[in-house]
Amino acid sequence: MKSRLVILVLVVSLFGFTNVLAQDGGKNPTPPGPTIKDTPTPPPPIPTAVSVPTPPVSTPPASTPPVFPPPNTTITVSNTLGDTVCYLYIAPSDSKVWGDDRLGSNQTLATDAENTIPLEASGVYDMQALDCQGNVLDELWHIAIGETWHWFVGYPTLIVVNHTGSPIEAVYISPVTDKNWGDNQLVDAEVIAVEQRRDFSLAPGQYDLAATDDQGNVIEQVNAVEIDKDIQWDIVGEVPDTGVEFDNLSDTTVCYIYIWDYATNSWVGEALGSDTIPPGQFIVYPDPPIAGTWGLQAQDCSGNVIYQENVTVTPGQTYLLWFIR
């Protein structure tokens, strides 16, 4: 059964709290060009030739060339977009170059089509899909791939960033309808090192998320996360027992968060005061939320609405997390 050590409802916060924590949530790396990541490393010098002894006459030559088994790591790529994928690049994350187009010079990937591509070995890879004009349609960074993996081009990406002081040994991603956590989403001996990230391509839906250390202890867990576009999960460690957290997953600085009280049908105040929340960052207020049904509205510094949502705080609930999308 899933361990519900921390129950975080994707909602909320109230106003008038003192800011105690504001932390950078990390940013996506600057995407490389379609064919090269950086200046390639020069190849090693060609080794000096050595003489090869002539085989004995009694040793017959091979009648047929040796047969090598195919690579045992593959990735299946499915195009869920309305655009044709004309170029597909998949390269190890520690490589500076993208390498060749994996589709080849005469092949494309139409909408709803799929292709299975062999990889050199299991490991951590970066991926990029481009249209026929060279525009990026989708890209993933630091994807852990075992023997097989399925990339649905166009699905939203969950970006997991480790801000704790130790490696994350396992990441569990489970639909809210499942009773079990399923397998660790990191492959083999892969971990997420401190201040490093891993990306996960997921079908749109609600998920429970958990990260554990090398002893299987839960570092952080969030429940019922709505993933309908790319979002970033910044793992900072054990969540406090009480407080209200706003995570800005949008690409706009949040300057105002207004709160509507459905009990009185009126606006009751603005939560941030002089604080702001830049894109990819979050802020935590220490006081517990107040039970009730609330409407939350996030605005930019010009007063334009970025995101709004109705949330319910249940009696006894002491910590609330609201994702601003």
Among 258, 254, 166, which Cα is nearest to 213's?
A: 166
pLDDT-derived band of residue 31, with 50, 70 and 90 as boundaries? very low
Ranges of each domain in the chain: 21-26+157-324, 73-146
Residue with tokens 């609201």: 322
The CATH-assigned architecture of domain 73-146 is Sandwich (2.60)
Phi and psi based region of residue 2 (left: phi greater than 0; alpha: psi -120 to 50; beta: remaining): beta
For the question of whether the overall pTM of this predicted structure is more than 0.75, the answer is no
pLDDT tens per residue across span 115-145: 999 988 888 899 999 999 999 999 998 888 8
Higher pLDDT, 73 or 100: 100
pLDDT tens per residue across span 38-69: 433 444 443 443 343 444 444 444 444 444 44
B/e letters for 148-184, b = 16+ CB within 10 Å, e = fewer, are ebebbbbbbbbbbbbebeeebbbbbbbeeeeeebeee
Q: Output the pLDDT for position 239.
A: 60
Q: Between the CA of residue 309 and those of 157, 232, 264, 298, 302, what are the distances in Å?
A: 22, 19, 17, 9, 20
pLDDT tens per residue across span 191-201: 899 989 999 99
pLDDT-derived band of residue 172, with 50, 70 and 90 as boundaries? very high
